[in-house]
Structure 1
Amino acid sequence: MPKVLEFKLPDLGEGLTEAEIVRWLVEVGDVVAIDQPVVEVETAKAMVEVPCPYGGVVTARFGEEGTELPVGSPLLTVAVGSAEGDLPDNLSGKGTDGAESSGNVLVGYGTGAPAARRRRVRPEAISAAAAPVAGPAPVPVTAPAPGPVPAPVPDEASGPVAVVSPLVRRLARQHDLDLRQLTGSGHDGLILRADVESAIRAGANGTAVAPSVPVPVSPPASRPAPASAPVAAERIPLRGVRGAVADKLARSRREIPDATCWVDADATELMAARAAMNGAGGPTAGPKVSVLALLARICTAALARFPELNSMVDLEAREIVRLPAVHLGFAAQTERGLVVPVVRDAQSRNAESIGAEIGRLTEAARTGTLTPTELTGGTFTLNNYGVFGVDGSTPIINHPEAAMLGVGRIVPKPWVHRGELAVRQVVQLSLTFDHRVCDGGTAGGFLRYVADCVEQPALMLRTL
């Protein structure tokens, strides 16, 4: 006799309390293996595929795609235990109570066991299952009524699709694109976001890639056009990443008495040093060192001199907590909103190592695969808003950090160099800081040291 177990939305870590269902990966009646991903959810930190700790037959799902569920609410129910021999042998692993479970400590990440191929089970095989566990009974999403039997799909049309990013899959669904018809430009044929966007553009230009959309027929010219209805204001829910950012920025403004100081710096020598680094070694040299990586290395050197800015305020204890390690965050704009990936232990990395980690995290941010751990725990943030073509800004501190360095665009400007007017590469640097952790003298000293390193990169040799 099979037993029906209820799988609830697990705590995905980092204090997250809710998640939005993006896409169901299983249907009612599917056979699932232990630790097989069953639903794709979006939290305030990242997109996550949630594996089920039970192996058996899915008997009910709770929540439609787009529904936001709190942690601990039911996700689905699974009938475990054999019934009329319909459950496959690989769904073994019963505990002492006969229930099949992975026994994971951190639910939501799985044990890495290979997922079994999904298979539907005859309704009579699960009709004798016991009722779900006691508690409020949400209305399950039942399987659709049986219709005409479709023609069998060839194996090559039903195999796996070379797509890793959930955002790529969502973009394709929104534009009715069949990913199996695309050829990926990534490694080993991986379908990238650029491939999907290219297919969308091709469809818009009339190429047979996306399904055509009927064009509405205009009314005859002699017939008066109907009066246009009033356009309602658009309402955008503050949830997911955008909601988390809104909450954090509002809290920062409420709690942190921030102040900003700024200075213009001649970045000509820094740009020359970067060109020399990237030109050394020829074709066999490692990855190029970015300007952001050099600025990040300058920040770690400055924080070693001014540790007050690598701290946070404990309001309950009324204490300033100076942190031993620099976990350097950098602002990155994505389709899901502003995110701040974190380079761990940046104080122990050189410019090349920091640059490599920034590159990895940036690509993960672009594809929507950043984990909650990679988006939390920062102690200082570097914000390069110069990529948007602006010179300056007064950013809001990333709570609960104590400071943020802003970098504007680097552009040729008139500059007095060695007593003469010359055209130099000039950048504006701004520091927004928590006035509770230090006074203006400390903040000014930090910013001046950063500017000096930008103008004379050799100053950093003392700390390398």
Structure 2
Amino acid sequence: MTSEPTERLFRLPDLGEGLTEAEIIEWKVAVGDTVEIDQIVVEVETAKATVEVPVPYAGTVLKLHTDAGTSVEVGRPLISVGTPQTAPVPPAGPVAEGPAAARYREEERAGSGNVLIGYGTGHAPASRRRRRTGAKRAPASTHRTAAPAPPASGSAEPASRARTAPRVISPLVRRLAREHGVDLAALSPSGPHGIIQRRDVERVIAAAGTVSAPAAPVRPETGSAERIPLRGLRRAVAEKLSRSRTEIPDATTWVDVDATGLLEAKNAFQAARPDARIGLLAVLARICVAGLRRFPELNSTVDTDRNEIVRYSHVNLGFAAQTERGLVVPVVRDAHRMTTTQIAAELARLTALARSGQLPPEALTGGTFTLNNYGVFGVDGSTPVINHPEAGILGVGRIIDKPWAADGALVLRKVTQLSLSFDHRVCDGGVAGGFLRYIADCIERPATLLADV
């Protein structure tokens, strides 16, 4: 005989990388929906990435314990599922669970708390979503492209449900489509791996004639102000920058550089290896790595608990990348072992992942030094903030034509400004100046690198 469903509570799992909370971006299910084991039920945003969370139980959704837009700590209730039982369960006996739920319990007993099924510990099968017959909500987008489950006999499932769910990574893209009534399932994705990007939605909006000029900013009334919560990535960035300014006694030094030789070297690389797509950032990264090998003091951190300087033997080079979610710093691991061509390929790979929202959290940690090419924003200089707990960051401004004294004559050259912020605990101004001067010499005379490769 059939007994009453057993309520199973699923808590927000440990998402790894020391993350303690996440913000609910979008629920993929509603109360009353039927879910399967390992089905994606919610999309959350952490300080490092957007993550889809699967549920380890099969049954009917009884309760969603928090609303979209709110933050939830790891271990707090997330969703309750009513799991059917075909026979009475003894008071102290275990409830039969599927493989994913069993793995979830095994990992939880291993000491890592609620572990996210299919996230870093195994590969979950593609999920399939079943909706209640006659449900009014539009099907939510998902990263996976699994076919939806066939409708039950006699149901009036719309034909549109049979289409493959669109792959949308960015919450901003979903919101833009929702505000303008764009059907994501009808779009042709232009992003990598079939991902719908913002330009795909804007193209449809423009074709429909619904794009208007940006509205003039609304000026707040006297005494009023807009309050914007610090959440997700923006909150993590704010905390890291505040910690950097609080804990690190930083200093900044800068120099103007004739980058004409650098651009010529970059063009020569591209002509010799057009398939490698070696850009300016890759050449700057290679120079930066060479500088860190010559001045290892800057490739370090300070262990405040033990009052020690930790000097790394490897170079994990972080680089600033602007995305729709904000500024992120992906890390090129073991950059000291790479050629310029290999660095260029890794920079391109990580940048594409970051801009499509697919960058894994582990790709944002472990850096030993950061390179920031803020010249792409059209600015000349800056005093970059050190990416805590690193000991230094090199900033590069825009490259523009300027009068330059060369061989006793005034000529027009391609000039840029370099800025180095460094932790004064790991080195003094002499080391910092030596590093910056070496970088400048390599930019002015790229052949200088040959002595160190």
- TM-score grouping bracket, smaller chain normalisation: 0.7 to 0.9
Q: Which residue of 1 aligns with 2:50?
A: 47
Change in 2 beyond 3 A, CA 1:255/1:158: same
1:394-433 Cα shifts (integer Å, max 9, x gaps):
0111111100000000111111223322111111111100
1:35 equivalent in structure 2: 38
* 1:173 CA drift (Å): 2.6
What SS does structure 1 have at the residue aligned with 2:167? coil
Contact 2:288 2:439 in 1 (8 A): yes
- State how 1:74-223 maps to structure 2 within 5 Å: 74-82=77-85, 97-100=95-98, 101-104=101-104, 105=107, 106-110=115-119, 111-120=122-131, 152-154=157-159, 156-167=160-171, 168-186=173-191, 190-203=195-208, 205-206=209-210
8 Å contact from structure 2 (residues 317, 368) kept in 1:
yes
Gapped runs of 5+ residues in structure 1?
85-94, 123-148, 211-227
Match of residue 411 from structure 1: 400
Q: 1:188 deviation in Å?
A: 7.5
Deviations 1:174-208 (A, max 9, x none): 433211232333468643221112223344x348x
Contact 2:34 2:61 in 1 (8 A): yes
**3-state DSSP of counterpart to 1:377:** coil
User: TM-score scaled by structure 2?
Assistant: 0.83
1:145 paired residue number: none
1:8 corresponds to:
11
What is the match of residue 135 of structure 1?
none
Change (3 A) 1:439 1:71: same
Which residue in 2 is equivalent to 1:140?
none
Aligned to 1:302: 291
**What is the CA–CA distance in structure 2 between the aligned matches of 1:116 and 1:279, rounded to whole Å?**
46
Contact 1:183/1:191 (8 A) holds in 2: yes
Distance 1:458 1:198, change over 3 A: same
Asked if the contact 1:33/1:115 (under 8 Å) is kept, the reply is: no
Distance 1:300 1:189 in 2: 35
* 1:250 corresponds to 2:242: yes
Distance 1:410 1:248, change over 3 A: same
Structure 2 match to 1:260:
252
Match of 1:360 in 2: 349
- Where in structure 2 are the equivalents of 1:319-338 lying within 5 Å? 319-338=308-327
Amino acid at match of 2:177: A
1:41 aligned counterpart, secondary structure: strand
Of the three residues 355, 370, 375, the one matched with 1:386 is 375
SS at match of 1:405: strand
For 2:391, the equivalent position in structure 1 comes to 402
String of CA shifts for 1:63-99, please: whole Å, max 9, x gaps: 1111111111111112234459xxxxxxxxxx96423
CA deviation map 1:265-288 (0-9, x unaligned):
11111111111111125xxx4231
What's 2:422 paired with? 433
The offset of 1:322, in angstroms, is 0.7
Q: Residue type matched to 1:72 in 2? A: G
- Equivalent pair of 2:12/2:74 in contact (CA under 8 Å): yes
Corresponding position of 1:217 = none
Q: Deviations over 1:197-232 (max 9, x none)?
A: 2223344x348xx9xxxxxxxxxxxxxxxxx97683
Cα shift readout 1:429-452 (whole Å, capped 9, x = no counterpart): 111000000000000010011011
Query: How much has 1:112 moved relative to structure 2?
Result: 2.6
Cα pair 2:38 2:127 within 8 Å, conserved = no
* Cα separation, 1, equivalents of 2:194 and 2:80: 36
> In the superposition, relative to structure 1, how do residues 121 and 412 fare at CA in structure 2: closer, same or farther (>3 Å)?
closer
Give CA-to-partner distance per residue, 1:92-132, whole Å, 9 cap, x none: xxx9642331414442544333245323579xxxxxxxxxx
Output the CA distance in 2 between the equivalents of 1:303 and 1:336: 30
Letter aligned with residue 62 of structure 2: T
Structure 2, gaps ≥5 residues long:
88-92, 108-114, 134-153, 213-219
Give the SS at the match of 1:45. coil
In structure 2, relative to structure 1, the CA distance for the partners of 1:206 and 1:308 (3 Å cut) is closer
Equivalenced residues, count: 404
Aligned residue for 1:260, secondary structure, equals: strand
With over 3 angstroms needed to count, the CA separation of the structure-2 counterparts of 1:171 and 1:150, relative to structure 1, is farther
Counterpart of 1:103 in 2: which secondary structure? helix
Instruction: Say whether residues 1:460 and 2:452 are aligned partners.
Output: no
Aligned ranges 1:234-245 → 2 under 5 Å: 234-245=226-237
Bigger radius of gyration: 1
CA distance in 1, matches of 2:401, 2:341: 26
Q: CA RMSD in A?
A: 2.5
CA distance in 2, matches of 1:96, 1:150: 35
Q: What is the deviation of 1:164? A: 4.1
Q: Contact conserved, 1:193 with 1:367, CA < 8 A, in 2?
A: no
Which residue does the alignment assign to 1:446? 435
> What is the CA–CA distance in structure 1 between the aligned matches of 2:301 and 2:210, rounded to whole Å?
56
Q: State whether residues 291 and 438 of structure 2, in contact with CA within 8 Å, keep that contact through their aligned partners in structure 1.
A: yes
Change in 2 beyond 3 A, CA 1:12/1:188? closer
Cα offsets for 1:312-340 (capped at 9, x unmatched) = 11111111111122111111222222211
